[in-house]
């Protein structure tokens, strides 16, 4: 979990940066630069996630000993390394996609996607796999990964189908509504 936390901290930094960048570019009326920023940060984040996933897979028999001296704990951790690698990859992209959506002003959409994916899909799937079908920790974690996959795919679809020119117009109307200056004036 420490390794996952380290990787997630990078993604959370990207989340904050891209949400501000997207909102600023949309507010400026620069749809192309907003879209380009999304592409750049997504590629960067996925690249970091892939590198971290490869490191987890390559060192799955060694890294548990950084955190424990127990053979039993290290053996169980090694078995869970594939789930950790997948989680690290997904957790490097998912916060970035959420940041893009928040920067685009779609906070409520992100909230509904999160609730649906985690509490309606991921958690029940984890409970079923872990307890009903007897997969234990691997089942619970796999169910939650399923929720993250669904959330990530949902956000990719939403962002891919976004008309960035339309979003700049909507951002301009929000700026006028709330009394801020706009570049068009």
- DSSP string across 40-52: HHHHHHHHHHHHH
The arithmetic mean of pLDDT across residues 166-183, rounded, is: 81
Q: What is the pLDDT of residues 8-37, one digit of tens each?
A: 888 899 999 999 999 999 989 999 999 999
Mean pLDDT computed over every residue of the chain: 91
Phi-psi region of 80 (alpha: psi -120 to 50; beta: other; left: phi over 0): alpha
Rg (Cα) of the chain, in Å, rounded? 19
pLDDT at 123: 96
Residue 101 lies in a domain: yes
Residue 42 lies in a domain: yes
Residue 183 lies in a domain: no
pLDDT at 4: 75
Domain that holds residue 97: 2-177
Select the more confidently predicted residue: 6 or 137: 137
184, pLDDT greater than 60: no
Residue 182 lies in a domain: no
Residue 39 lies in a domain: yes
Q: What is the pLDDT of residues 59-98, one digit of tens each?
A: 999 988 888 899 999 998 899 999 999 999 999 999 999 9
pLDDT at 180: 66
Number of domains, the chain: 1
By CB atoms closer than 10 A (0-12, 13-18, 19+), residue 30 is middle
């Amino acid at each position: 979990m420490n390794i996952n936390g380290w990787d997630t901290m990078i993604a959370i930094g990207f989340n904050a940066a891209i949400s501000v960048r997207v909102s600023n570019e949309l507010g400026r009326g620069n749809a192309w630069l907003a879209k380009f920023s999304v592409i750049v940060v997504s590629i960067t984040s996925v690249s970091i996630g892939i590198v971290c996933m490869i490191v987890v897979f390559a060192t799955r028999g060694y890294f548990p000993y950084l955190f424990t001296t127990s053979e039993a704990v290290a053996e169980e951790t090694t078995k869970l390394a594939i789930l950790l690698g997948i989680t690290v990859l997904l957790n490097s992209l998912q916060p970035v996609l959420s940041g893009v959506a928040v920067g685009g002003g779609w906070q409520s959409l992100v909230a509904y996607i999160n609730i649906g994916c985690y509490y309606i899909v991921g958690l029940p799937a984890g409970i079923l796999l872990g307890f009903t079908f007897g997969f234990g920790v691997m089942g619970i974690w796999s169910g939650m990964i399923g929720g993250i996959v669904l959330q990530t795919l949902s956000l990719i679809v939403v962002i891919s189908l976004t008309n960035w020119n339309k979003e700049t117009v909507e951002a301009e109307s929000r700026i006028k509504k709330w009394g801020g200056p706009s570049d068009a004036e």
